[in-house]
């Protein structure tokens, strides 16, 4: 046990770290070290950037970087970069993009871009006194944070709102400063957290020095200051619509029947959290892939999206569908706090290329593209589920993966694709086919 633990790992050089881990956890340490080295970038400068993103790096973990073309969003054509390991996602997004390109494309609108952060604190004085001094507190909070906010204000952003939230009905003495921010083209995590930490410091000093407070009222305990990843007002809506009869025959199904079945499938995801989780996972297949490709924080996006999906106390579908007056309308409202400057967006060489591929959008335009990718993915998944079933598309990729794994030649692959077009794909069946 003890020989597999170490003090001062972070202080070792990259190759010392790799050596230590290889020697202690593998049967073939030389090969492991070669594998890790093999996945490092051939250009030293680029590898240095990647090494600098996180701690204790010994190699890079590669994921496929794909492009889904033919996304027409608000009349503009995009080729959308997607980083995802799951087969069929990029193909599904591309297919849905083309389908909707022929029916007017996607539409998207940013409803708001407000970000939020909180200072959580404990205080046991008379809350009316706190509200009474609030204007003076606000002035001091803003004044003392000026060195942090000046630049953001020049760019058109900054602090939009500060309020005290009384949480004492839930927990004795528990209050928050709830702060709203505009962070323009950056996701703004560093900016928000720095401002909140400054606010926490000011709040503490203000309360302990203010003449209105005496005795225990001077004691305020700051619990923590941190942004909220739940940003329900950093919201974008993406939608598609067309007359139902213009939807064409989907896998041989009449458009009216298809639209009704589709509508029902979305309805089920509103009613049943078991289905909603899978339905929304399909949306995030598209969303996360673009978020990752553009160097944004997919964990923040997921946390926010799932919280938003449960905003009425019941976890539901993020997308919705209507069939009014013969028009099929399918839409997605989703909070997306993303940036096109700062963070990894320009630092990671491929994130920078992704933004270039999208025409170097501002953050609101990127929100529109990401939401459209999520909606496209959801449309493609539901279209498969209510017609052929999801396995048909998946199995094609699965078959190719098995064939690659078994080292099949080009001609054998073509024959196998033909042979398995109407048969169940399994590893054993494919191996038996190749042996024959
Ligand atoms: C698979 O990654 C995603 C789906 O399960 C989504 C869905 O069921 O809607 C196909």
> Can you tell me which residue has the tokens 């996972």?
281
pLDDT digits (tens, 9 = 90+) for 349-405: 999 999 999 999 999 999 999 999 999 999 999 999 999 887 776 777 788 889 999
> Can you tell me which residue has the tokens 């390109």?
101
Best CA proximity match to 320, nearest among 269, 284, 366: 269
Q: Which atom belonging to ligand 1 lies closest to the Cα atom of 269?
A: 9
pLDDT digits (tens, 9 = 90+) for 207-217: 999 999 999 99
Site to probe by mutation for ligand 1, drawn from 88, 285, 392 as the one with most ligand atoms within 8 Å of Cβ, is: 285
Catalytic residue check, 415:
no
Query: Is any ligand 1 atom within 6 A of the Cβ of residue 338?
Result: no
Distance, in Å, from the CA atom of 436 to the CA atom of 434, rounded to the nearest integer, reads 5
Query: Is any ligand 1 atom within 6 A of the Cβ of residue 366?
Result: no
pLDDT digits (tens, 9 = 90+) for 170-200: 999 999 999 999 999 999 999 999 999 999 9
Distance, in Å, from the CA atom of 225 to the CA atom of 392, rounded to the nearest integer, reads 49
Ramachandran area for residue 116 (φ above 0: left; ψ -120 to 50: alpha; else beta): beta
Side-chain-side CA neighbours of 354 within 13 Å: the count stands at 30
What pLDDT, on a 0 to 100 scale, did the predictor assign at position 61?
Answer: 97
What pLDDT, on a 0 to 100 scale, did the predictor assign at position 1?
Answer: 60
Residue 47 token pair: 């590898």
Catalytic residue check, 320:
no
Query: Is any ligand 1 atom within 6 A of the Cβ of residue 268?
Result: no
Calculate the alpha carbon distances from 133 to 129, 164, 220, 424 in Å: 6, 11, 15, 72
Q: What number is the average pLDDT over the span 332-361?
A: 96
DSSP, residue by residue, 168-231:
TTTSTTEEEEEEEEE-TTB--HHHHHHHHHHHHHHHHHHHHH-TT--GGGG--EEEEEEEES--
Task: Give phi and psi for 55, each to the nearest 5.
Answer: -100, 155
What pLDDT, on a 0 to 100 scale, did the predictor assign at position 93?
Answer: 97
Best CA proximity match to 290, nearest among 55, 52, 71: 71
Distance, in Å, from the CA atom of 80 to the CA atom of 340, rounded to the nearest integer, reads 15
Q: Among the options 41, 129, 281, 306, which is catalytic?
A: 281
Classify residue 382 as exposed, middle or buried by CB count within 10 Å of its CB (0-12, 13-18, 19+). Answer: buried
Query: Is any ligand 1 atom within 6 A of the Cβ of residue 275?
Result: no
Best CA proximity match to 163, nearest among 114, 216, 219, 214: 114
Q: Which atom belonging to ligand 1 lies closest to the Cα atom of 86?
A: 2
Query: Is any ligand 1 atom within 6 A of the Cβ of residue 188?
Result: no
Please name every residue paired with 221 in a beta bridge, in sequence order, or none if there are none.
Answer: 122
pLDDT digits (tens, 9 = 90+) for 20-71: 999 999 999 999 999 999 999 999 999 999 999 999 999 999 999 999 999 9
Ramachandran area for residue 184 (φ above 0: left; ψ -120 to 50: alpha; else beta): left
Best CA proximity match to 190, nearest among 152, 220, 156, 139: 152
Query: Is any ligand 1 atom within 6 A of the Cβ of residue 281?
Result: yes
Q: How confident is the model at residue 2 (pLDDT cuts 50, 70, 90)?
A: low
Calculate the alpha carbon distances from 55 to 9, 59, 299, 343 in Å: 10, 11, 18, 16
What pLDDT, on a 0 to 100 scale, did the predictor assign at position 376?
Answer: 98
Distance, in Å, from the CA atom of 368 to the CA atom of 105, rounded to the nearest integer, reads 13
Q: Among the options 182, 297, 348, 365, which is catalytic?
A: 297
Query: Is any ligand 1 atom within 6 A of the Cβ of residue 381?
Result: yes
**Ligand 1: which residue has its CA nearest to atom 2?**
282
What pLDDT, on a 0 to 100 scale, did the predictor assign at position 401?
Answer: 86
Are the C-beta atoms of 377 and 88 separated by less than 8 Å?
no
What pLDDT, on a 0 to 100 scale, did the predictor assign at position 234?
Answer: 98
Calculate the alpha carbon distances from 239 to 78, 309, 399, 404, 412 in Å: 16, 17, 34, 38, 43
Please, what is the end-to-end C-alpha distance for the chain in angstroms? 49
**Ligand 1: which residue has its CA nearest to atom 1?**
282
Question: Is residue 251 pLDDT above 70, yes or no?
Answer: yes
Beta strands in 52-204 (DSSP E): 65-73, 76-83, 107-110, 115-122, 158-166, 174-182
Are the C-beta atoms of 51 and 57 separated by less than 8 Å?
yes
What is the model's pTM? 0.93
Give the number of other Cβ atoms within 10 Å of residue 150's Cβ: 10
Question: Is residue 114 pLDDT above 90, yes or no?
Answer: yes
Classify residue 270 as exposed, middle or buried by CB count within 10 Å of its CB (0-12, 13-18, 19+). Answer: middle
Catalytic residue check, 114:
no
* Percent of all residues in the chain with a pLDDT value above 90, rounded to a whole number: 91
What pLDDT, on a 0 to 100 scale, did the predictor assign at position 384?
Answer: 95
pLDDT digits (tens, 9 = 90+) for 132-174: 999 999 999 999 999 999 999 999 999 999 999 999 999 999 9
**Helix or strand holding residue 283 (H, E):** helix 273-293
What pLDDT, on a 0 to 100 scale, did the predictor assign at position 210?
Answer: 96
Distance, in Å, from the CA atom of 29 to the CA atom of 289, rounded to the nearest integer, reads 33
Catalytic residue check, 143:
no
Site to probe by mutation for ligand 1, drawn from 82, 381, 397 as the one with most ligand atoms within 8 Å of Cβ, is: 381
Angle, helices 363-385/89-101, rounded to nearest 10 degrees: 100
């Amino acid at each position: 046990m003890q020989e597999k633990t170490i003090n001062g790992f972070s202080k070792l050089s990259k190759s010392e770290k790799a050596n230590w881990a290889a020697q202690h956890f593998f049967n073939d340490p030389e090969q492991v070290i070669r594998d890790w080295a093999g996945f490092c970038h051939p250009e030293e400068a680029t590898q240095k950037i990647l090494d600098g993103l996180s701690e204790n790096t010994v190699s890079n973990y590669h994921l496929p970087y794909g492009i889904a073309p033919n996304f027409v969003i608000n009349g503009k054509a995009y080729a959308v970069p997607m980083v995802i390991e799951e087969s069929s996602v990029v193909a599904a997004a591309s297919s849905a993009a083309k389908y909707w390109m022929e029916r007017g494309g996607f539409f998207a609108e940013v409803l708001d871009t407000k970000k939020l952060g909180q200072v959580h604190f404990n205080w046991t004085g008379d809350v009316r006194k706190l509200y009474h001094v609030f204007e003076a507190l606000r002035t001091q909070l803003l004044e003392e944070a000026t060195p942090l906010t000046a630049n953001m204000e020049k760019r058109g952003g900054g602090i939009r709102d500060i309020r005290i939230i009384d949480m004492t009905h839930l927990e004795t003495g528990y209050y928050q400063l709830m702060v709203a921010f505009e962070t323009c083209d950056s996701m703004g995590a560093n900016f928000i957290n720095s401002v909140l930490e400054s606010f926490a410091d000011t709040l503490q000093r203000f309360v302990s020095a203010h003449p209105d407070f005496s005795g225990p009222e001077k004691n305020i305990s700051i619990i923590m200051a941190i942004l909220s990843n739940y940003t329900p007002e950093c919201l974008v809506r993406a939608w598609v619509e067309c007359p139902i009869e213009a939807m064409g025959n989907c896998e041989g199904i009449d458009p009216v029947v298809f639209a009704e079945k589709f509508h029902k499938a979305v309805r089920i995801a509103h009613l049943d959290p078991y289905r909603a989780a899978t339905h929304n996972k399909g949306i995030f297949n598209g969303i996360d892939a673009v978020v990752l490709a553009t160097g944004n924080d997919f964990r923040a996006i997921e946390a926010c999206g799932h919280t938003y999906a449960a905003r009425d106390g019941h976890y539901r579908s993020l997308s919705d569908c209507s069939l009014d007056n013969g028009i099929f309308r399918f839409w997605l409202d989703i909070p997306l706090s993303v940036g096109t400057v700062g963070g990894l967006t320009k630092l990671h060489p491929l994130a920078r290329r992704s933004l270039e591929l999208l025409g170097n959008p501002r953050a609101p335009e990127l929100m529109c593209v990401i939401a459209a990718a999520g909606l496209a993915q959801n449309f493609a998944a539901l279209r498969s589920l209510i017609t052929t079933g999801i396995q048909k598309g998946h199995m094609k990729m699965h078959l190719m993966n098995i064939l690659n794994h078994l080292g099949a030649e080009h001609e054998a692959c073509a024959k196998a694709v033909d042979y398995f077009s109407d048969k169940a794909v399994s590893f054993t069946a494919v191996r038996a086919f190749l042996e024959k």
